[in-house]
Structure 1
């Protein structure tokens, strides 16, 4: 599960680095996607990142993982945490589901 979470967060961060908000949106959690639009994601994370490093991924619960990340954005280095949820459908966490990022978790130390 940890490797699946790492792959998903790296895909999200690469899409962000490419300023591809459509791809980023597709990689968000099913719960987040059910309530938010691509436009809202772009408003939430408007700045393009220059680089990133996934420092550590920890299990919060079998369906929830946290990724500690160092970002280079706007000429500054920021340490953020991205929460990943494994879900079958919105509000239905399951180890048999698919990981997605909760983008709101990233903004805590970003701005």
Structure 2
């Protein structure tokens, strides 16, 4: 079923955004810093992917869950969306962990 992977990423991102909004963890607390962190992290991971693709370490597997749109050889459309989600999730998780009672650096 084409697009199910992208839909899963977007639904997951919406869930993380809902938690972010409810607890004002990242984007709903400091939108510019969050956007910068997500953009830099995503760019770094895309470069990492490009190196992996160029060296033959990363290859695109066949899956009916992908839309079938490639941004470059072995780089499906879903990859940068997933990487941005991963970075956003990391920022939200980091900010949530900082609020734990035993976290020293608040």
Q: Which has the higher contact order (CA 8 A, sep 6+)?
A: 2
Q: TM-score range by the shorter chain?
A: 0.3 to 0.5
Q: Which has the higher helix share?
A: 2
TM-score, with structure 1 as normaliser: 0.31
Where is the strand percentage greater, Structure 1 or Structure 2?
Answer: 1
Larger radius of gyration: 2
Normalising by structure 2, we get a TM-score of 0.32
